[in-house]
Amino acid sequence: MTIAPKLRHFLDTQHAEYELTEHPPTLSSTETARVAHIPPSCMAKAVLLEMPDHEPLLAVLPADRRIDIADLHTELDGKPRLAGERQVVGIFDDCMPGAVPPLGAGYGVDMIVDDDLAREPDIFFEAGDHRSLVHMEQAEFRRLTRGARHGSFGTIEE
């Protein structure tokens, strides 16, 4: 099992309580939830956005949701757009594409967390690759994301 070095450093310096488990390789957060036998509503996925001022913002929501740009625009001061692959790789340079951890503070990125994720007692997320999964209690995730904005911007994927 591996964990992205910057993520491990952040978790260690924050004295975070978490478990690391391995799962078969996957290509999406919903697939990870399925093979790990966890509800997709507990699986956090992170999407890097670019704000109008070109600052990055990490949007975090459950795996079974997709970003509703109109709702997100309402929650933020400005209309975000998806960050380009170069920007994602530049910030999350120790992670595999598509395995971005939902802890922006470990990468110097502001965050917004969807309210639906806050309703789950346990949170799971990729550890920077497509094989390792971090599990922590909601209270711990909330502590690690205490500077994040919150809002309702996810809609159920169909």
Please report the pLDDT score of residue 79 as a whole number.
Answer: 86
Please report the pLDDT score of residue 133 as a whole number.
Answer: 96
For 11-60, write each residue's pLDDT tens digit. 999 999 999 999 999 989 999 999 999 999 999 999 999 998 889 999 99
According to DSSP, the residues that pair with 99 across neighbouring strands are none
Q: What phi and psi values does residue 9 have, to the nearest 5 degrees?
A: -60, -45
**pLDDT, greater one: 157 or 17:** 17
Strands 110-114 and 154-156, how do they pair? unpaired
Please report the pLDDT score of residue 2 as a whole number.
Answer: 87
Using CA atoms, how far residue 88 sits from 15, 17, 32, 40, 94, in Å, is 26, 27, 21, 23, 11
Is residue 72's pLDDT more than 80?
A: yes
For 89-106, write each residue's pLDDT tens digit. 999 999 998 899 999 999
Strands 81-82 and 44-50, how do they pair? antiparallel
Terminal-residue alpha carbon distance, the chain: 32
According to DSSP, the residues that pair with 44 across neighbouring strands are 62
Which tokens sit at 129? Answer: 């690759």
Cα separation, 158 vs 151, in Å, equals 21
For 12-22, write each residue's pLDDT tens digit. 999 999 999 99
- Domains of the chain, earliest start first: 5-156 (3.90.960.10)
**pLDDT, greater one: 77 or 86:** 86
